Amino acid sequence: MIPAAFEYARASSVDEAAKLLNKFGEDAKVLAGGHSLIPLMRLRLAQPTALVDINNIKDLDHIKEDGHKLRIGALVRHVTIQNSAVVKDKLPLLAEVAGEVGDNQVRNMGTMGGVIAHADAAGDYPTLALMLDAEIVTNQRTIPARQFFKDLFTTALGPEEIVTEVVFPVANGPHKYIKFRRRLFDWAIVGVAAQKINGDWRIGLTNVGPTPVRATAVEDALKKGVKPEEAAQHASDGLDPAGDLRASPEYKKHLASGPSSRQKASRQRRGPAAQPGHVSLSSNRDCRHSHGCMASPVVGRTL
């Protein structure tokens, strides 16, 4: 379908973009990679009266190590994050997750700021931002990730607020992101992220609620020394996921505790050396046949 008519302006600085948003009014939208916004406009699920294109703002296209922090500019494309030597060194989990976002075309165009601002429940970066206590920096303020994601497609951003960068802590210890999906390049049915940082595990879940979820019950159990496969039983504590086109609520809850089941199976196969500090999970993640996925337990698929 063809989108409804809209005005278009290209900004060359964040200040100019903010002024343009102010001029066009609250129905104007920022245009970054366009890989969420344009499809919605074509379906007329979004009908902004104006688009403010930020793709020419060079200041938003940076990856910087800053002490114990990693600053990712809002316009940095997924493919750049995936291939960045700095990201691979300082926060390899983020590089891995970037490589899991969509297909080549999506990764060539989609941006960090776009995923964060769009706040799709199945978006992959919001999970990392939440579980790692990242900060979302805008042209007006700095917002801790735990205060940023308010509801499905709803964030703390005001109408003239532009995400300029996302600041993650450096964390290059053991980590893993398991993305369960029906087909290669698909969105997550459920995603589970694990990162060891400052001696403790952080666990985040994608697409099990309207916003990303931090699995604090699992984190607490691991802190107390509970075995990973037992700690994983808490992954669905308090979850009430909505069913969607990809899975029922029950199946999502089942998947949420999947990675530890996989870990257990993996350990059984490889012996006791593979402890949580050496996370090495099978990456057999693509559920190509939904019935097969529903029928075969996660451990069975791993072995």
Which residues bind to ligand FAD, rule: CB under 6 A?
29-37, 39, 54, 74, 101-102, 106, 109-111, 113-115, 117-118, 120, 123-124, 157, 162-163, 187
Residue nearer to ligand FAD on the CB measure, 29 or 262: 29
Return all residues near 203 (Cβ < 8 A) that are at least 6 apart.
131, 192, 193, 194, 214, 215, 218, 219, 222, 235
Minimum separation from the CB atom of position 123 to ligand FAD (A): 4
Residue nearer to ligand FAD on the CB measure, 27 or 200: 27
Minimum separation from the CB atom of position 101 to ligand FAD (A): 4
Q: What whole-number distance in Å separates Cα of residue 115 and Cα of residue 267?
A: 34
Judge whether 192 and 259 are in contact, CB under 8 Å.
yes
Task: Tell me the residue ranges of DSSP E strands in the chain.
Answer: 7-10, 28-31, 50-53, 63-66, 69-73, 135-138, 142-144, 149-151, 154-155, 163-169, 175-180, 190-197, 200-206, 213-214
Minimum separation from the CB atom of position 8 to ligand FAD (A): 13
Q: What whole-number distance in Å separates Cα of residue 287 and Cα of residue 283?
A: 11
Q: What whole-number distance in Å separates Cα of residue 121 and Cα of residue 63?
A: 25
Residue nearer to ligand FAD on the CB measure, 37 or 232: 37
Minimum separation from the CB atom of position 36 to ligand FAD (A): 4
Minimum separation from the CB atom of position 17 to ligand FAD (A): 9
The DSSP 8-state label assigned to residue 188 in this structure reads P
Judge whether 264 and 229 are in contact, CB under 8 Å.
yes
Q: How far is CA 91 from the centre of its chain?
A: 14
Residue nearer to ligand FAD on the CB measure, 106 or 294: 106
Q: How far is CA 141 from CA 63, 86, 135, 144, in A?
A: 19, 26, 10, 10
Return all residues near 92 (Cβ < 8 A) that are at least 6 apart.
172, 175
99-120 per-residue burial string, b: 16 or more CB within 10 A, e: under 16: ebbbeeebbebbbbbbbbbbbe
Residue nearer to ligand FAD on the CB measure, 126 or 228: 126
Minimum separation from the CB atom of position 60 to ligand FAD (A): 7
Residue nearer to ligand FAD on the CB measure, 180 or 251: 180
Residue nearer to ligand FAD on the CB measure, 115 or 203: 115
Minimum separation from the CB atom of position 167 to ligand FAD (A): 14
Residue nearer to ligand FAD on the CB measure, 162 or 222: 162
Minimum separation from the CB atom of position 282 to ligand FAD (A): 20
